[in-house]
A and B are shown apart, each in its own frame.
Chain A
């Protein structure tokens, strides 16, 4: 069964709306990541975490907050969504050292 589960799979919101994307992993991994995927840009790192309560800033953090509540759960928060945040979002987990990332199936977000 899927070891990295993202929810929801699809989300539509309006400009200025609040959105929370959820990710749960059952790999017993310490590291978790949020990426966004856009045509022409590939996967860009938003935020990542080394463990519960830890947060690291990625390369495209503006407009995003993240919280790592437990080893299993990592959330991405968009408090004032904008159309530029329309994208496909992926969560991933890895063991320390980040040798192999295990990705979820993605959440497609549309901000109207």
Chain B
């Protein structure tokens, strides 16, 4: 399995500012995703972070608002730009395991709890 860490674990930010969330994986992975989850609710895929190319965004999410970097196979960042209270949520990084016996299994980071005031 993959061990994923995220920084920060939580933050309280003022509207209009930006926050960059870091995701570090302990092994090289091909597929990395960013999700948003309201507490107790389902996960919404924001984008797929592609190594060496631009991220692939889901409907309703745009690069200007959620720029993503993926400089290598173990690290990615998600920035939440020009924040508003509606951006308050838990942001999750996840990766897909590629090892035999664990193929296609998705592993999640602990999440970043963001509150925008």
Do A and B originate from a single complex? no
User: Which residues of A approach B to under 8 Å, CB–CB?
Assistant: none
